[in-house]
Structure 1
Amino acid sequence: MYLMLSSAIYYRRAFNHLKLTDTNFTHCPLVDEWVQAEKICKLLEVFYETTTLFSGVKYPTANLYFPRVITVQLTLSQALQSSDEFMRSMANRMFQKFDKYWKDYNILLSIAVIVDPRFKMQFVEFCYNKLYGHGSNELSLVKSKLVSLFEEYMGLASKSSSSNTSTSSHSRIDDSASLPLNSDSGCMDVFKEFDTFQRTELNDRAQKSQLDLYLDEPKIDRSSKCNVLAFWKAYQFRYPELAQMARDILSVPISTVASESAFSTGGRILDQYRSAMKPDVVEALVCCRDWLVGQKETTEVRLDDLTENVMNLFINEDAGSNNAATDY
C-alpha cells in the first residue's frame, strides 16, 4: 500500500494533466483525496521502513530493534492526536494491534541500543521520558538490568582469570634506578609528587567500571555510518568484558524470516482442516519446513545445466523409441 501510494503521489501532476487533456479520464482524485493519501503514505512509511529492516534478508543486529519500534509507537501516538477523524480511527485500530504484540519492550533488546555508540543511555532515557514521563519505573528497570548483566559478565571474567593466574613471583624494579644519578633533592620531590598524582588518578579510574567509562565517553555522530560489531572488535582490549557482553547481545536475532513468508507459512500449516494443533507441534512443523527448504536452497541450479538435462531427456526418449521400433 505504501509503495502504491508513494508512486501515485509522485505522478500527481501527471494525473491532473491527464484530466485536463483527456475527457474520458473521469476518475482523477480530488484535492482532498490527494491530501488524505499523503497523510496515509506518511504514516505507512514508518511501517514500510521497519518491516524492510526487520526482514530476514539482511539479518540486522539487535541494536536496530528499539529505535525502529519506538518510532512506530510515537508515530501512532501522534496519529491518535490528529484532527482528521479518519486518521484517528485508522491509528486507533493499528495501535490496538501494536499493543498486542509490541507493548512490552524486551529489556535485552532495549539494552542492545545502549551498546550502540551512536545512542547509548541518552536515547533510551529520551524515549522513555516521552512515553512514560521522567523517573519512570520502566527506565529504572532497564538501568538495573544493564548493571546486573554487566556485573555477571565481570564475575565470569574474574573467575576465569583467577583460575588461570600463576604463582610465579615478579621481581620489583628499583625506582631510583630509572632516575638520573646526578638528580638533586628538588627533582626527587617533583617525581614523588608525580607518582602520588598518578596513583590517585589510577584509583579514581579504577573506581569506575568499564560500563561507566563507556557511557561517560561522547557519542559517535548518529548520521555517520558505524558498524557496531566492528566498533566492539576495535575496543575489545579497552573494554574486554563489556565488549563480550555487547557481542552476545547484538547477536540476538530480531527476526529470522521475512514477515510475509512467516504469515504465508502459518496459513499453509493451520487451515480449516488442521486448526487444533498444539503450539509445539506447529513450531516443529515450521522448523522442519525451514530446514528442508534451506537445504534445497543451498544447492544452486544453473540454467545451462538445467537446459542440458532437458536436452538429454529428449535424446534419451528418441533413442528409446528407436530401440523399441527395432525390437518390434
Structure 2
Amino acid sequence: MASALDPRFKLKYVSEDNRGSIEDKLTAEMKSLINEMKNAPLETAAMAPDVTEDAAAPKKKKKGLGSFFKVTTDKTAGPLLQQDHAIALELQLYLQTETLDAEEDPLKWWRESQRFFPRLSNLARKYLCIPATSFSSERVFSTGGNIVSCSRSSLKPDHVDRLVFLAKNL
C-alpha cells in the first residue's frame, strides 16, 4: 500500500488483479484517518478539567405524543456519501497524474501537492515517513556471527541467545 502512495511508482508494479483491493484499502484507510481526526478534538475537549458534569450535560427536551409517530430520516447518510465520493475522486485524480521521476523526493512532492490531495497527503505522511532500514536486526545477526565461530560452533541455541542478549544489553 505504501508503494501506491509513492508518486514515483503508484500502481506501476502492481498486477491488475490486485489494483482494486489496494484502492479499496487506501479508501478505507483514508476514511479511518478522517474519522480519527474528527474524533481527536472531541477527546481532548472531554478531558478538560474545568468543565463540570452539570454544565456539560445538555437538558433533555420533553417529547409530545406526535413525536412518536414522526418518520425520521438518516441525516448522516448524505454527508457520508459525499465524503466517500470525494475520497474516491481524490484517489482517481492522484492515480491519473504523471508519475514522478525516480530521482525526485516523494515527500517534497507530497508537500507541494497537499492542497490538491489533502486526505491522501495525510496518509502518505503516515506511511512514507517510516524509515526502511534494518540496522538493528543486522547488528544482532552480526553479533551472533561474532559469537558463533569455528571454535565455538557446538554452542547450544539457548546459550547463543543468552550471549547475544548479554552482548547487546550490557
2:24 paired residue among 124, 144, 157: 144
Aligned twin of 1:265: 143
> Whose helix fraction is larger, Structure 1's or Structure 2's?
1
Q: Which amino acid aligns with 2:118?
A: P
Separation (CA, whole Å) in 2 of partners of 1:282 and 1:211: 50
Aligned twin of 1:311: none
Q: 1:230 and 2:120 equivalent?
A: no
- Give unmatched runs, 5+ long, in structure 2: 45-81
Separation (CA, whole Å) in 2 of partners of 1:287 and 1:239: 44
Separation (CA, whole Å) in 1 of partners of 2:83 and 2:22: 25
Cα RMSD of the aligned pairs, angstroms, is: 4.0
Which secondary structure does the structure 2 equivalent of 1:218 belong to? coil
Q: 1:255 and 2:133 equivalent?
A: yes
Separation (CA, whole Å) in 2 of partners of 1:227 and 1:238: 18
- Give unmatched runs, 5+ long, in structure 1: 1-110, 129-133, 165-203, 290-328
What is the TM-score when the length of structure 1 is the normalising length? 0.31
**Residues 7 and 106 of structure 2 are in contact (CA less than 8 Å); yes or no, is this contact kept in structure 1?**
yes
Separation (CA, whole Å) in 1 of partners of 2:97 and 2:29: 20
Q: 1:124 and 2:28 equivalent?
A: no
**Relative contact order, CA 8 A, sep 6+: which one is greater?**
2
Aligned twin of 1:115: 5
**What is the number of residues matched between the two proteins?**
129
Aligned twin of 1:157: 37
1:128-155 CA distances to partner (integer Å, 9 max, x unpaired)? Answer: 3xxxxx53xx555434333322222121
Per-residue deviation at 1:236? 3.1
Q: Which amino acid aligns with 2:120?
A: L
Please tell me whether Structure 1 or Structure 2 has the larger radius of gyration of its CA atoms. Answer: 1
Separation (CA, whole Å) in 2 of partners of 1:148 and 1:286: 44
Q: Which amino acid aligns with 1:232?
A: W
Separation (CA, whole Å) in 1 of partners of 2:161 and 2:38: 39
Q: 1:275 and 2:156 equivalent?
A: yes
Per-residue deviation at 1:261? 5.3
Separation (CA, whole Å) in 2 of partners of 1:144 and 1:206: 11
Q: Which amino acid aligns with 1:256?
A: S
Which secondary structure does the structure 1 equivalent of 2:134 belong to? coil
Q: 1:288 and 2:148 equivalent?
A: no
Identity of matched residues, %: 24
**Residues 113 and 120 of structure 1 are in contact (CA less than 8 Å); yes or no, is this contact kept in structure 2?**
yes
Per-residue deviation at 1:280? 8.0
Separation (CA, whole Å) in 2 of partners of 1:262 and 1:145: 34
Aligned twin of 1:131: none
Per-residue deviation at 1:260? 7.1
